[in-house]
């Protein structure tokens, strides 16, 4: 069995292992864990965040895809607390079933190559999650939290902000990882909005509308939404068909999606 220290990162899995203890401590302080809370980490890797979390909280579940890390993680965690390992691709994990009626807190240094699919997967199980603290590329966090009107504002911004409060916390330089990535990273907090405050009548329809609107972001909505929303339907909810998708607020996208749902 190869030890965690000897494990070589796998580029195909987007692995960049955090090693800077100061960053780890800052993440744990941001979590402000309370006794009895369930915590799940996505992609523990070599355990830089896993073991300090386990020692601080005493009980931790992790979801790890790399089979070469399973036994080393299990062995290293045995003396530190209760470590529960789910060996799976997180995109295949039913997080709602994992919660089993008790919502948990999610944390993780997400693989760069599948960070957006993971975020959308978590959205599908938002009722099972109290909050999320994720490490991602800074440019992704910038897009997640962007306001309408800027170049960073797009599909990811609208979809996440429709369901969550997105709060960037701090930037992490490349040197905090092995191997160092070529870009800065950042830690972000996401808090799912109360279910009764999300006024989206048809989630699939809303997602399809947002995706189509940003498919050709340099074109006007009259063109990008052709076949899905007519100029009259846009004007009915106060949207200028001559505007571009990046100028619309999250609330405007929701209003248009709901209008289309109620007047097929």
pLDDT in tens, 58-111: 999 999 999 999 999 999 999 999 999 999 999 999 999 999 999 999 999 988
Tally: H helices and E strands in the chain: 11, 9
**43 annotated among ligand-binding-site residues:** yes
- Please, are residues 107 and 84 in contact by the beta-carbon 8 Å criterion? no
Mapping DSSP onto H, E and C, the string for 141-177 reads HHHHHCCCCCCCCCHHHHHHHHHEEEEEEEEECHHHE
Predicted local confidence at residue 7, as pLDDT: 43
Residue of higher predicted confidence among 234 and 68:
234
pLDDT in tens, 111-140: 888 899 999 999 999 999 999 999 999 999
Q: Does residue 134 sit in the same domain as residue 252? A: no
Q: Does residue 183 sit in the same domain as residue 257? A: no
- Of the candidates 178, 196, 214, which is a domain's last residue? 196
- Of the candidates 169, 196, 223, which is a domain's last residue? 196
**55 annotated among ligand-binding-site residues:** no
- Number of domains composing the chain: 2
Q: Does residue 171 sit in the same domain as residue 213? A: no
Distances (CA, A) of 106 to 89, 90, 238: 15, 12, 38
Helix segments in 32-107, DSSP class H: 50-57, 67-77, 95-99
Predicted local confidence at residue 252, as pLDDT: 98
Q: Does residue 21 sit in the same domain as residue 95? A: yes
User: Is 6 a domain residue?
Assistant: no
In terms of residue numbers, what domain contains 238? 203-262
- Of the candidates 147, 178, 196, which is a domain's last residue? 196
Q: Does residue 227 sit in the same domain as residue 170? A: no
- Is pLDDT above 80 for 8? no
**16 annotated among ligand-binding-site residues:** yes
The CATH number given to whatever domain includes residue 227 is: 1.10.8.100
**165 annotated among ligand-binding-site residues:** no
State the Cα–Cα distance between residues 42 and 148, nearest whole angstrom. 30
Q: Does residue 24 sit in the same domain as residue 148? A: yes
User: Is 29 a domain residue?
Assistant: yes
User: Is 134 a domain residue?
Assistant: yes
User: Is 4 a domain residue?
Assistant: no
């Amino acid at each position: 069995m190869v030890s965690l220290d000897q494990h070589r990162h796998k580029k195909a899995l987007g692995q960049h292992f955090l090693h800077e203890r100061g960053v780890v401590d800052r993440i744990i302080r941001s979590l402000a864990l309370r006794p009895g809370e369930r915590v799940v980490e996505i992609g523990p890797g070599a355990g830089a965040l896993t073991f300090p979390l386990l020692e601080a909280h005493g009980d931790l579940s992790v979801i790890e895809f790399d089979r070469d890390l399973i036994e080393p993680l299990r062995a290293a965690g045995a003396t530190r607390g209760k470590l529960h390992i789910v060996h799976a691709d997180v995109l295949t994990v039913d997080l709602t079933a994992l919660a089993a009626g008790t919502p948990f807190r999610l944390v993780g240094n997400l693989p760069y190559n599948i960070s957006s699919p993971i975020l959308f997967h978590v959205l599908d199980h938002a009722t099972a999650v109290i909050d999320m603290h994720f490490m991602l590329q800074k440019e992704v966090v910038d897009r997640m939290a962007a306001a309408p009107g800027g170049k960073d504002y797009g599909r990811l911004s609208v979809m996440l902000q429709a369901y969550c409060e997105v709060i960037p916390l701090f930037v992490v330089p490349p040197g905090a990882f092995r191997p160092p990535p070529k870009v800065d990273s950042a830690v972000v907090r996401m808090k799912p909005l109360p279910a009764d405050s999300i006024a989206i009548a048809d989630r699939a329809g809303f997602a399809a509308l947002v995706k189509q609107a940003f498919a050709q972001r340099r074109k006007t909505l009259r063109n990008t939404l052709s076949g899905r929303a007519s100029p009259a339907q846009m004007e009915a909810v106060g949207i200028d068909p001559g505007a571009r998708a990046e100028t619309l607020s999250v609330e405007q996208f929701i209003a248009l999606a709901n209008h289309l749902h109620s007047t097929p």
